[in-house]
Chains A and B, each alone.
Chain A
């Protein structure tokens, strides 16, 4: 019942914004290429849906998901290795901090030059954005595993793999999920940016196309679809997290 009211409230808030937006464009006589009305955005979306909108969306989802998965796997694996090797971490913590703080988005055009106009440079951009937050979160998570659980593992003569698989990974999962959330937001930004810069496919490309041809309603439509995609990704992670971490004390 509570959930129902929340949905109703959210719907109402969104509806209010849309109505205000509509009234503003209508009565202040704002030209379509500056701020299109909700109706024209909707029409542009319907028009695009008949065309290639879904192909673009599918393309974005494909590179988003593949880049995200690769980044997450690499991030968790590297985080584990670094957490296990104090020496490696001493050597690499400096370079990692540098690479993590370096604005990879600014380097994005270079990626295109280095790795070409194809899908490789796009994936590398996404992976580089996802990798670091997941790596750091994994490192922190495994570092903060309860010392007494290590004692338990020792008493039970667990192998290294069992320790990781049965104790450290599940213990670190709450922290890892923080990295997964940050990484997901970054991945969406990365995917759009990558398409923005090169190629003829994806929502990012659709935005550049709309801007270049002054189809502002289409640009708004693409932005809205991207935002919805981001929300969907976030919701999926939230769902998985709640399933996997249901054992936690509810805050």
Chain B
């Protein structure tokens, strides 16, 4: 199965490869031990007034350990549903999800919501510490972890600030730090920067990449933005609606670390054009 590579479409002079027909199994010439998430035939149906609605038709997807995968698609394509099923926030109507998380059984996944969803009565530090407090981690250890994470997201000096005193971007940073506090190996992000202005969004994208390279997390990132998906990811999964399904998976071979030069790279623009076309 693993040597059955589909034809590789190499765009003229560009290092972006496109693989079609990937709602089937995604074959990768990789050791199985590096595979972290194995999604097979996961689907979600529900009924409205007796009529069956398919939010997500049977979906297969593999994610490698340490990979940054974006899921992009119009509203109603099931991308958030897939993410919420992975987080255990919704139950699938069928199919199987296998998350190979080493020996850390029942590990909580990190989840970053579209809104920060902070507890307004807790300070930034207490919000980051919240998952540790509820897991009964000793206070001193929790405090030092939370301080480190606030430093990682660039919020040193705002430890005691209440969420209402922070800007939208800062709140989302707190929320990312909170998701990282219990050191999950998998980070699920549901349009985390969708509500932010473009300047803040660009900056947070860069910070996310640096956090990713420092923490070696596996990240599944749902977004509406073609640019964001192309800029951040190792792979971009394009989904289409009615019924929600995976349409195409793009490999992104843009060199890392990514930065201003990536945004000038013609391959980057070609990929964005391909994604846009695919989304129509």
Given contacts A148-B115, A162-B134, A249-B164, contact A155 B108 (CB under 8 A): yes
Question: B119 to A157, Cβ gap below 8 A?
Answer: no
Chain A interface residues (CB < 8 Å from chain B): 146, 148-149, 151-152, 154-158, 162, 166-167, 170, 245, 247-249
Docked complex: B114-151 residues within 8 A CB-CB of A:
115, 117, 119-122, 130-131, 133-134
State which of B88, B113, B117, B164 has its C-beta within 8 Å of the C-beta of A247: B164
Contact status A152-B108, CB under 8 Å: no
**Can you list, as one digit per residue, whether each of B62-103 has a CB less than 8 Å from chain A (1) or not (0)?**
000000000000000000000000011100000000000000
Q: How far is the CA of A170 from the CA of B127 in the complex (A)?
A: 14
Mostly helix, strand, loop or mixed at chain A's interface? helix
B109 at the interface (CB under 8 A from A): yes
Smallest beta-carbon distance B134→chain A, Å: 5
**How many B residues are at the interface, by size bracket?**
20 to 34
CB contacts (< 8 Å) of B109 on chain A: these are 155
> Quick one: CB contact mask for B143-171 with A, threshold 8 Å, 1 for yes?
00000000000000000001010000000
Majority SS at the chain B contact face:
loop
Contact of A148 (CB < 8 Å), options: B117, B120, B122, B134: B117
Q: Name 9 A/B residue pairs within 8 A (Cβ), A-sorted.
A: A151-B89, A155-B88, A155-B109, A156-B131, A170-B121, A245-B121, A247-B164, A248-B164, A249-B164
State whether A152 touches B117 (Cβ < 8 A).
yes
Choose among B111, B117, B133 the residue with the greatest number of A CB atoms under 10 Å from its CB.
B117
Count of CB-CB pairs between chains A and B under 8 Å: 46
User: Least Cβ distance of A74 to chain B in Å?
Assistant: 25
A152–B134 alpha-carbon span in the complex (Å)? 12
Judging by beta carbons under 8 Å apart, are A157 and B108 in contact? yes
Would A156 and B108 count as touching, CB distance under 8 A? Answer: yes
Q: Which residue from chain A places its CB closest to the CB of B113 in the assembled complex?
A: A148
B-chain residues with CB within 8 Å of residue A146 when the two chains form the complex: 117
User: Which listed residue, B117, B130, B133, touches A151 by the CB 8 Å rule?
Assistant: B117
A155 with B111, Cβ < 8 A, contacts A162-B134, A247-B162, A249-B164 known:
yes
Q: Are B120 and A247 interface neighbours, CB within 8 A?
A: yes
Is B134 in contact with A155, judged by CB distance below 8 angstroms? no
With a cutoff of 8 Å between Cβ atoms, the chain B residues found around residue A167 in the complex are 119
Q: Are A247 and B121 in contact (CB under 8 A)?
A: yes
B134 touches A151 (CB 8 A): no
Query: Which B residues are in CB contact (< 8 Å) with A247?
Result: 120-122, 162, 164
Taking CB atoms, residues of chain B closer than 8 Å to A149 are 117, 119
Binding site for A on B (CB under 8 A): 87-89, 106, 108-109, 111, 113, 115, 117, 119-122, 130-131, 133-134, 162, 164
Query: Hey, which chain A residues are within 8 Å of B117, CB to CB?
Result: 146, 148-149, 151-152
Determine how close the nearest CB of chain A comes to the CB of B84; give it in whole angstroms.
8
A156 to B87, CA, bound (A): 10
Closest Cβ–Cβ distance, residue A38 to chain B (whole Å) = 46
Q: Are B119 and A151 in contact (CB under 8 A)?
A: no
A59 to B166, CA, bound (A): 49
Expressed in whole angstroms, the minimum distance between the Cβ of A162 and any Cβ of chain B is: 5
CB distance from A246 to the nearest CB of B (A): 9
Let me know if B88 and A154 touch, CB within 8 A. Answer: yes
Compute how far the CA of A156 lies from the CA of B119 in the bound complex, rounded to whole angstroms.
13
What separation, in Å, do the CA atoms of A247 and B118 have in the docked complex?
12
Known: A156-B131, A158-B134, A247-B162. 15 other contacts (CB 8 A): A151-B111, A151-B117, A154-B89, A155-B88, A155-B109, A156-B130, A156-B134, A166-B130, A166-B133, A166-B134, A167-B119, A170-B119, A247-B121, A248-B164, A249-B164
Query: Which of A152, A157, A170, A248 has the most chain B CB atoms closer than 10 A to its own CB?
Result: A152
Please measure, in the bound complex, the distance between the C-alpha atom of A162 and the C-alpha atom of B130, giving whole angstroms.
11
Point out the residues of chain A lying under 8 angstroms from B115, CB to CB.
Answer: 148
Q: How far is the CA of A110 from the CA of B255 in the complex (A)?
A: 84
Q: Which of A149, A157, A170, A249 has the most CB of B within 10 A?
A: A157
Question: Nearest chain-B residue to A162 (Cβ)?
Answer: B134
Find out whether the CB atom of B108 lies under 8 angstroms from the CB atom of A151: no
Min C-beta distance of B220 to chain A, whole Å? 14
Query: Which residue in chain A gives the minimum CB-CB distance to B133?
Result: A166
A1 to chain B, nearest CB (A): 25
Q: Residues of A contacting B119 with CB < 8 Å?
A: 149, 166-167, 170
Q: Which residues of A contact B162 (CB under 8 A)?
A: 247
- Residues of chain A within 8 A (CB-CB) of B120 are 247-248
CB distance from A215 to the nearest CB of B (A): 51
Q: Which residues of A contact B89 (CB under 8 A)?
A: 151, 154-155
Chain B residues positioned under 8 Å from A158 (CB to CB): 134
**A153: nearest chain-B partner, CB-CB:** B134
A55 to chain B, nearest CB (A): 42
A158 to B131, CA, bound (A): 9
Q: Which chain A residues border B122 with CB–CB below 8 Å?
A: 247
| Most chain B beta-carbon contacts within 10 A, residue among A151, A155, A166 | A155
Please state if B164 and A155 are interface contacts (CB–CB under 8 Å).
no
Task: Return chain B residues, CB-CB under 8 Å to A245.
Answer: 121
